[in-house]
Structure 1
């Protein structure tokens, strides 16, 4: 079992330690559930009221909140408890699933595929013609990578993921279970003779940068022509849809159930809240935030926060809702 002393944990996160403990700490937990050999954390004032009744052996706390708690539980005082807890979680991260053999004999690898050093390929995976895997790529069981794809150094792909032909994936990416990369974009037009719908063929591809993480069951569709592009460092939650010809800048965040229609452009550092939907051919400029559940129908300026359906300036929308509530009381 992994365990650390309080002093070791304090050093790891460069905390100011207030109090003592002889416990060996074996993990982390919520304030309400933590035991004497577990560490918890307080990153918001609304949780300080839970400190007095907690059974945690130690608490990581924001420096600006320490005056709000008093008791016997040792404190690890840091500028940002959330970031400190991220560092502590890495200490207790369990081992990844074990590969009995680096490259399973039950995987299919086309003779023209190029496999780098120290790659791992699990049972039932399919590696197509002219695929290129850089050094250290990890492919868990039942992954499909079709022809002419390239995957960068130490990218990790979890079971069920399908990467369609011609996709280009960067280094140090993580794709969780059942991610779909490079499926056809959604495009149809009425037939001239009225007989039905004509499918628009999508001949482009998907290009994904370095350090991108994509959550389970999310989809990135290939472009009608040219490429759908996901920039370096983007983090995509579970159950997210990114349609054909979208372009995401660096370090964008998209929360679960959000979606981009075709040809949406996100600048650097854009944040899309859960269940938000973005109209096609819209540009959301760098640093903008789209609140959860919002529907964006037009361009959003850099650094702006929008809210509602249709989404407008968040401050104006909150004032509007307050006014409506007042009318209801009249």
Structure 2
């Protein structure tokens, strides 16, 4: 296992090294369970107490903490602890063990282009005309469709499916089981469906249902993913119907997220687990959607929007707004609505008493 000096780690983080900066560590651990070979992560005082029971000789600590009093030989001071944690874990993560070159069991079409120093694992299938960038690491059982393009320094974990003609930028990461560029869920009936009638009438239509079946609208567009994007395990992002679906640079998509056809997602967005997008959503930059959010079709979400977990977005959301609830409203409005909801039983009792008093004035004291 690789070893790193405290000085090297501090330099990579742009942080300050204290004490025995040449001390070597080979992994990270929580303070109470750390051994002498570990760098303990004790960035807050409540975590630092664990150093007294663990065996760590070095730790990442927060500003103002006394590393010598904690019995350490060396320390790295992190003014922004969670950001430092990102750097430390990146330095310590060797990634999956994929042997250099192409595994004998991989099936690579002769017309595919594989970049220099790529590592392609067992049972990978690469279709005709596909292009894979330099230094790509592709784990076992991945399939890459005909004409797909993947940039440099990709890391594609086990069982990922990248469909035909999908285009992906540099430094892409896909966690196991992600499916990118499947057809959109787009169907139509010969005559007006009950869904269309309900939308037009807001559910008041009384016309009898017509017996008819659904006809597929084929997906002729593709999916275009920018640089520095990460897609979580078992996420599914559909290709466009005519135009492309798009995911902007730097956006991170969590496990079990579904993004429907024709969606255009901006840069540096954070989309948390089990969030679902219907089709044709336009979303700006730096949007954060908490887990289990639902996004209705054909709406626009501006930049810098934050939606709390389980929010349901049915209408357009302007830039910079923080929303919450079902349906989603401004967070402060939702808090007031929730307070009012909790007061409903008491309010109901008060109203009943007032009704009784008004209806029977002679019986009141």
Same fold (TM over 0.5): yes
**Which moved further from structure 2: 292-301 or 21-30?**
21-30
Query: Matched residue pairs, number?
Result: 324
Name whichever structure is richer in helix by fraction: 2
When residues 156 and 41 of structure 1 are mapped into structure 2, their CA distance, relative to the original with a 3 A threshold, is closer
| TM superposition shift of 1:77 | 2.5
Q: Cα distance 1:182–1:13, how it changes in 2: closer, same or farther (>3 A)?
A: closer
Counterpart Cα distance in 1 of 2:60 and 2:29 = 11
- Residue by residue over 1:21-59, the C-alpha shift from the partner in whole angstroms, topping out at 9 and shown as x without a partner, is 99643322234433454333355xxx5334334435444
State the distance in 2 between where 1:36 and 1:118 align. Answer: 36
Structure 1 match to 2:304: 287
The answer to whether the 8 A contact 1:23-1:37 is kept is: no
* Residues 194 and 310 of structure 1: CA distance in aligned 2, closer, same or farther (over 3 Å): same
Mapped partners of 2:21, 2:119: distance in 1 = 42
CA deviations on 1:135-159 (whole Å, 9 max, x unpaired) are: 3333222221222222222222222
- The 10-residue stretch of structure 1 (157-166 or 18-27) with the greater mean CA deviation from structure 2: 18-27
Asked if the contact 2:122–2:141 (Cα under 8 Å) also holds between the matched residues in 1, the reply is yes
**CA displacement 1:222-281 (0-9 Å, x = unmatched):** 111110001111111111101100001111111111111101111111111111111111
Aligned to 1:162: 161
Aligned to 1:52: 49
Map 1:83-122 onto structure 2 (within 5 A). Answer: 83-94=83-94, 96-99=96-99, 102-122=101-121
Q: Which residue of structure 1 aligns with residue 230 of structure 2?
A: 213
Q: Deviations over 1:49-83 (max 9, x none)?
A: 343344354443443x649xx75456533220111
Deviations 1:280-315 (A, max 9, x none): 111111111111111111111111111111111112
What is the alpha-carbon root mean square deviation over aligned residues? 2.7
Q: How far apart are the structure 2 equivalents of 1:145 and 1:22?
A: 45
Residue of structure 1 in register with 2:289 after alignment: 272
The answer on whether the counterparts of 1:13 and 1:84 sit within 8 Å (CA) in structure 2 is yes
Q: Tell me the alpha carbon deviations over residues 176-226 of structure 1, each in whole angstroms, 9 at most, x when there is no partner.
A: 211111111011223447332222211111111111111111111011111
Structure 1 or 2, whichever has the larger Rg, is: 2
How far apart are the structure 1 equivalents of 2:246 and 2:300? Answer: 14
Deviates more, 1:31-40 or 1:113-122: 31-40
Task: Give 1:17 deviation, angstroms.
Answer: 5.1
Residue ranges of structure 1 left out of the alignment (5+ in a row)? none
Residues 326 and 7 of structure 1: is their aligned pair in 2 closer, same or farther, counting only changes over 3 Å? farther
Aligned pair in 2 of structure 1 residues 279, 42: CA closer, same or farther (>3 Å)? farther
> The residue matched to 2:159 in structure 1 has which SS?
coil
Change (3 A) 1:5 1:127: closer
- Comparing 187-196 and 159-168, the one that deviates more: 187-196
- Three-state SS of the structure 1 residue aligned to 2:245 is strand
132-141 or 178-187, which moves further after superposition?
Answer: 132-141
Pairing 1:22-37 to 2, within 5 Å after superposition: 24-37=24-37
Matching residue within 268, 272, 278 for 1:251: 268
Structure 2, unmatched stretches of 5+, are 192-209, 348-365
Query: Residue 296 in 1 paired to residue 331 in 2?
Result: no
TM-score, with normalisation over the residues of structure 2? 0.79
Match of 2:250 among 209, 220, 233: 233
How far apart are residue 327 of structure 1 and its match?
4.7
